[in-house]
Structure 1
Amino acid sequence: MTHALPPKDYEDLIRLIHERHDQMSKTYQRISVFLTQNPNDVAVQSVNAIADRCGIHASSFVRFAQALGYKGFKELQSLFQRRLATAAPGFEARVKALETELHTSGDRNEFGFLSDLVVRDIASLQEMLTDIRQEDLVEAATLLQHAETIYLIGQMRSLPVVELMRYQLTMIGKRCILLDSAGGISTYVARTMTKRDVLMAVSFRFYAKEVVDVVDEAGARGMDVIAISDSTLSPFAKSAKVLFPVPEHDYTFSRSLAAPMCLAQALTISVAARVQQNADAPRIPTVTGT
């Protein structure tokens, strides 16, 4: 997969990785996923540190870069460093401060576990502000606003995200159907979707097979699909009209839902502002007793 003229900026590099991903070896695919999910880490860490995190020998990263036309990994890494240097003002300093706090806390007790999660979540939320594009938020909110019915699917640890969206969208008057796994008929219910509907899918590595199958089939039928996943190289990339990549960082126990939950709420608030014609103070009505 040698590329004679290597990309000169980060965006072109990511575009090339996407174009060639399906033809790459399994090792190169794993490297590609890490690069696209962790651009800030790639910018500041050594190739040996990155390789250790991936469980792949550092020489494979060097060969990967050379296959794309670079002299070595450092030349490829420079694109990630330039991207980080031009990020939102103060972002690099905040990320480094958070990483320092994370690496120096070290307490293996109840409060230490809480501190680790909070620090990692803050870093993920701040990264999301630089990675999520305004035009994608606008397009997704527009699709959800005009959908006759919003179908939602997410399984295992992604389920709370779509459950929250179903509650909030229902409370602002949008018709929603949750494609849950009960009864084993979610795939068949999904086939009742029409071109007037929208499918909202959430899944992270390792991707729930039924969710991937539903998204693939919806995409093949020309349905509008909005997806939240962990990478632009996720199985949703080829079918989603709007894909929100929310990279997941290493957690010792379980990956947090703070960032995808925040994004899901931002989408529903955007829809509420449109439905209520109130951009200043959109609100999700609450359930009150009688």
Structure 2
Amino acid sequence: MHANGLKAPQDYEELIRVIHERYEEMSKSYQKIALYLTQNPNDVAVHSVNALAERCGIHASSFVRFAQALGYEGFKELQGLFQRRLSTAAPGFEARVKALEEELGSRADRSEYGFLRDLVVRDIASLQAMLEQIDPEHLAKAVGLLEAAETIFLIGQLRSAPVVDLLRYVLTMLGKRCVLLDPSGGLATHMARAMQRNDVLVAVSFRFYATEVVNIVEEVAARGHNIIAISDSTLSPVAKGAAVLFAVPEHEYSFSRSLAAPMCLAQSLTVALAARLQNNVEEPRIPTVTGQ
């Protein structure tokens, strides 16, 4: 127990639970640290506090004080929970991450093809990480909600828009009634209020979370509708009211943030839904528009 009388969380799961409980009361800098810890647990396990502070844009002393506020003697003690978590990860995971980092670090090619190679290598890491983190029960529950829904409402703005555009296309081709809550005409909030009891909202939102998306999610949740959320953190503002949350952590790229992982997740939901609707788990098919 720390001198401040707080009993520090003893494992990773308890730490994350405590961070969620206290997040709303934290200062802005502590909230930024909390977001970074929950989004980048593998980085937290393997990098020094100075390196983490530089990536986060906050002084290392703030990381130390953050750990002490949770009951630890210092940041090293908190970091130990992340290291134990990583050591029990799926076999080969650490080796894959290290190999990918070495491949990126050794690249001297700054050509156009080099940028492509960078993105592909990082996307491979993101997709592999997603396999480790997505709960199979959450996938099954989300597909069940989509199957049972009379109408599926979709919302995602800014960088999230391509994900919901893909979902609208595939769900429509599967015969599901969809409503895209786009910002055109300023009607998205009013359209969301037309949701019926058996409808579901799929919300996609990443930093920096679009205000209208957050407001609509909060309003829909308050009315008791089911929400499937795809976001970048369990601390995301769209996470709180979700019946199912898929937290797909984003890695900070030097020149972009990729949609490879959330797009793959969206496709997996629709393929699994197709398998149920077609009663065909062997070769579910997504119909396509073949002509005009």
Q: Same fold (TM over 0.5)?
A: yes
Partner of 1:8: 10
Partner of 1:242: 244
| Selected match of 2:97 from 95, 101, 113 | 95
Question: Residues 152-180 of structure 1: CA distance to partner in whole angstroms, max 9, x if unpaired?
Answer: 00011111100101111111111111111
Q: Tell me, what secondary structure is at the counterpart of 1:111?
A: helix
Partner of 2:148: 146
- 1:3 CA drift (Å): 6.6
> Letter of the aligned partner of 2:177 in structure 1?
R
> Letter of the aligned partner of 1:156 in structure 2?
L
Contact 1:3-1:67 at 8 Å conserved across structures: no
Contact 1:225-1:241 at 8 Å conserved across structures: yes
- 1:111 CA drift (Å): 1.2
Partner of 2:232: 230
C-alpha distance in 2 between matches for 1:168 and 1:32: 36
Partner of 2:275: 273
Partner of 2:194: 192
C-alpha distance in 1 between matches for 2:224 and 2:259: 29
C-alpha distance in 1 between matches for 2:113 and 2:267: 28
- 1:106 CA drift (Å): 3.6
Task: Give the alignment's Cα RMSD to 1 decimal.
Answer: 1.3
C-alpha distance in 2 between matches for 1:273 and 1:3: 54
Structure-to-structure mapping, 1:8-47, within 5 angstroms: 8-47=10-49
Contact 2:153-2:201 at 8 Å conserved across structures: yes
- The alignment status of 1:74 with 2:76, answered yes or no, reads yes
C-alpha distance in 1 between matches for 2:267 and 2:142: 13
Question: Residues 21-51 of structure 1: CA distance to partner in whole angstroms, max 9, x if unpaired?
Answer: 0001111000000000000000110100000
> Letter of the aligned partner of 1:47 in structure 2?
V
Structure-to-structure mapping, 1:98-177, within 5 angstroms: 98-177=100-179
Contact 2:231-2:239 at 8 Å conserved across structures: no
Question: Residues 175-229 of structure 1: CA distance to partner in whole angstroms, max 9, x if unpaired?
Answer: 1111111111011000000110000000100001111111010001011000100
Q: Give me the identity figure in percent.
A: 70
Aligned length: 290
TM-score, normalised via structure 2 length: 0.97
C-alpha distance in 2 between matches for 1:279 and 1:214: 35
Structure 1 gap ranges (5+): none
C-alpha distance in 1 between matches for 2:99 and 2:76: 24
Sort the Cα spacing of 1:70 and 1:134 in 2 relative to 1 into closer, same or farther, 3 A. same
Q: Tell me, what secondary structure is at the counterpart of 2:106?
A: helix
> Letter of the aligned partner of 2:228 in structure 1?
I
Question: Residues 119-138 of structure 1: CA distance to partner in whole angstroms, max 9, x if unpaired?
Answer: 11111111101111111111
> Letter of the aligned partner of 1:149 in structure 2?
T
Structure 2 gap ranges (5+): none
Contact 1:3-1:68 at 8 Å conserved across structures: no
TM-score, normalised via structure 1 length: 0.98
Q: Tell me, what secondary structure is at the counterpart of 1:105?
A: coil
